[in-house]
Copies of this chain bind each other. A is one copy, B any other.
Amino acid sequence: MSRWAMVKKSARNPRREGSLSRERIVEASIALLDDGGEDGLTFRALSERLATGAGAIYWHVPNKGELLTAACDAIIARTMNAVAAGASPETTLRDVALGLFDAIDAHPWVGSALMRSPGQLPMVRIIERIGQQVRRLGVQEKAQWAAVGTLLNYILGVGGQNAANGQLARAQEIDRSDFLGSVATAWSALDPGDYPFTRSLADKLRSHDDREDFLAGLDLILSGIRNALPD
């Protein structure tokens, strides 16, 4: 017997290649969510993909909700780490927001996972990033929470809507822009007496650019924050 074969598996060593771990489960969950949408993640699909039983997954993860939050957190952590440091507070704030927008665009399920886990780690990462820039901006102590909360809730609102649009489009087996087109058509058919404003928006809805609109709203809020700055 060679000395290699005699090396004991230390408790500290990485597990054997095929074995389960929280990370492997989270990684597989992300893959499932990315190509099956919000309800692509089931313990049955997961145990098949990981070639194991449902019970094994429960040994590493307490329940489906926490698994979804963990998957969401993996995406958010990457996204926040990718934001360049050193730029002006306003630029950084815009980078954080656009990073989140793009992440949710690429993984629509992140939008609803984020919505459903208030105060949890993914949200904390975002609050921290935004909060530090709001401080650098010179917002007074007691106005900081309002500023951060407003930015956060706006970003969550947009993210949630993007997630919902993606989910509904998927259910009808069309793509997101076709779904928005069908909404636009419905809006055009609204009673002109009751819904003049919404009707007038139908064309806008067909031709708009989500990302640009998102930025416009962000700038509106930033201008409100700047407005309230001391001196």
For the complex formed by this chain, how many copies does it contain in all? 2
What is the CA–CA distance of A222 and B146 in the complex, to the nearest angstrom?
13
B135, B187, B198, B224: which contacts A223 (Cβ < 8 A)? B224
Contact between B190 and A118, CB atoms less than 8 A apart: no
Question: How close is A94's CB to chain B, nearest CB, in angstroms?
Answer: 15
For A, the interface residue count at a CB cutoff of 8 angstroms equals: 57
Does residue A82 face the partner (Cβ distance < 8 Å to B)? no
The residue on B at minimum CB distance from A199 is B128
Does residue A161 face the partner (Cβ distance < 8 Å to B)? yes
Top 9 nearest A-B pairs (CB, nearest first) are A157-B157, A153-B157, A224-B224, A131-B197, A119-B183, A150-B217, A146-B216, A156-B157, A220-B224
Binding site for B on A (CB under 8 A): 112, 115-119, 124, 127-128, 131-132, 135, 145-150, 152-158, 160-161, 164-165, 167-168, 180, 183, 186-187, 190, 194-198, 201, 204-205, 208, 213, 216-217, 219-225, 227-228
